[in-house]
Amino acid sequence: MLLYLRLLVLTTWVVQVLANNSTAFQYKGISIGGWLVLEPYITPTLFKDSLNPGESEDDIPVDEYHYCKKLGKEEAERRLNQHWSEFYNETDFQLIKQAGLNMVRIPIGYWSFEMMDKDPYVSGAQDYLDKAIEWSKQNDLKVLIDLHGAPNTQNGFDNSGLRNIGYPGWQNKTEYVDLTVKILKQIYNKYGTGEFAEKYNDTIIGIEVLNEPYGPALSMNKLKSFYIDTYNDARNIQNFTNSIMFHDAFQGIGDWDDFLSRGKVQVVFNNGTRNITVTKSAKFNNVVLDHHHYEVFADSVHSNITTHLQNIKDYAGSIKKEKNGAIVGEWSAALTDCAMWLNGIGLGTRFEDTAPYGNKTSNGQCAKWTDAKKWSKQQKKDYRRFIEMQLYEYGINTQGWIFWCWKTESATEWDFQALVKYDIMPQPLDNYKYVKNGVDVSGSTKFGLNWVLLISMLVVFL
């Protein structure tokens, strides 16, 4: 009896340790997109309502920066406060928990902490981040704080706050990177020390230091230097060792193995007269690599569903071979890029092969795919197959996943709530209809399905 009690106490202690150790946490998360950082395709009404009488779509601001600039500080503040208070509330977090999810990723822009001179942005979203952390705690959800927008844009996408496609200016001046480092220090101080952190340290599982820096147009050595600097700041400032998350900067799977293992980088700085080579290093602990995967922002949008499913299996399998912990921190149900303004206001789609995209065969008309009420049984089935394959493959091959995003006004492929409504997102999450142990059995007969399941079980056990 005494031995039993000792084992029970030890087991309870191990469970508690693992619950607060984010390296052991298996992410089943959702992103709170379009709330504290605007994205036109998530809330198109907000952007359409910025038009004055006589203006056309050409006059719609393309991002949050120009939205605030067009309206002016006072009016932008009024509208954004209304948006922040209405688009999400505690009920959403209750529903997120009920849907079987265990954490939320909350994007926020640098301007919510400190602005540059002449920035038109509106501050105030930080208060709603704090509300969201409280709602998460009340509903037993973990929180990943995600710095989604950096000064002068780290990727050129509208989701950074400032759209300048192909020309991220974040590294153009040292003051932009320096301000990012400074803001992250503010985040580490507020959410990693003091009374706030004491209250919520078991809720705030980590901090993503920068969303989607566009590596192909940035200096990767300078980005790695930034990662090292801000990681060291986190460990020096915070009282709690939560996860620090690095996005892969659109580099290949496995490309980060050496950096994350060695924690070193050499960077050449110019002091105005000569170049100076500086070696920076960190002993990384509890760092999670963030991969984002979509099948619709490249030629893969033209693939058939069978190819999409195989792409997911191959992608997840390659992540499994990486040397360090990784998640798929963004993915969706999207088989098209047809959602209005998904690629940006004023831009066409790869699916229809409309400007500025071209030189590929059109897949047909987007109208067939944008109204979920008109989806055929086969369309719904294919969407569910695609989702189930991602849920399964990311679940067994990575440290977990975060779906983008919880809700939109009309972009069903990106809307978790709507996908549940149309019986496309499994509920519960492991209620697979068409994917069994990573095998697509959607075309199997009942007899054939039994054989597939038997073979799958043998593979697992052998």
Torsion angle in degrees (nearest 10) through CA of 303, 307, 312, 314:
-120
State the Cα–Cα distance between residues 352 and 455, nearest whole angstrom: 40
- Please list the active-site residues: 212, 293
Q: Rounded CA gap, 31 and 408, in Å? A: 11
**Is residue 320 within 8 Å of 378, Cβ to Cβ?**
no
Q: What is the pLDDT of residue 449?
A: 47
Contact 241, 278 (CB under 8 A): no
Query: Cβ atoms within 10 A of the Cβ of 432, count?
Result: 17
Strands 326-330 vs 287-292: parallel, antiparallel or unpaired: parallel
pTM reported for the whole predicted model: 0.91
DSSP string over 237-251: H-SS--EEEEE-TTP
Q: What 3-state class would DSSP assign to 297?
A: coil
Give me the pLDDT at residue 90, please.
98
Q: If you search the block for the tokens 């580099």, which residue do you land on?
A: 251
Nearest residue to 225 (alpha-carbon basis) of 277, 272, 151, 167: 277
Supply the pLDDT for residue 444: 63
d(CA 210, CA 177) in angstroms, rounded, equals: 11
**125 closest CA partner among 159, 85, 183:** 85
Cα separation, 22 vs 330, in Å, equals 18
pLDDT of residue 456: 53
**Which pLDDT score is estimated for 408?**
98
CA distance 428 to 420: 10
Q: Are 121 and 48 in contact (CB under 8 A)?
A: no
**Predicted pLDDT of residue 13:** 41
* Cα 386 from Cα 372, distance rounded (Å): 16
Q: Consecutive 10-residue runs of the chain (462 residues): their mean pLDDT?
A: 46 41 82 98 98 95 98 98 98 98 98 97 98 98 98 98 97 97 98 95 98 98 98 97 97 97 90 85 97 96 97 98 96 98 97 88 90 96 98 98 98 98 98 97 61 50 50
Is residue 188 within 8 A of residue 233, CB to CB? The reply is yes
Q: Domain 26-431 belongs to what architecture?
A: Alpha-Beta Barrel (3.20)
pLDDT of residue 132: 98
Q: What spatial distance separates the first Cα and last Cα of the chain, rounded to whole Å? A: 37
Contacts of 107 (CB under 8 A, 6+ apart): 31, 32, 33, 35, 36, 37, 146, 148, 149, 159, 211
Q: Specify the pLDDT at position 363.
A: 87
Q: What pLDDT, on the 0 to 100 scale, is given for residue 144?
A: 98
Q: What is the largest CA-CA distance in the chain?
A: 82
Pick from 270, 417, 400: which is nearest to 333 by CA?
Answer: 417
Residue boundaries of the structural domains of the chain: 26-431
Residues 374, 133: Cα–Cα separation, whole Å: 37
Give the Cα separation of 31 and 292 in Å (integer): 12
63-92 b/e (C-beta count within 10 Å ≥ 16 → b)? bbbbbbbbbeeeebbebbeebbeebbeeeb
Is 418:412 a contact under the CB 8 Å cutoff? yes
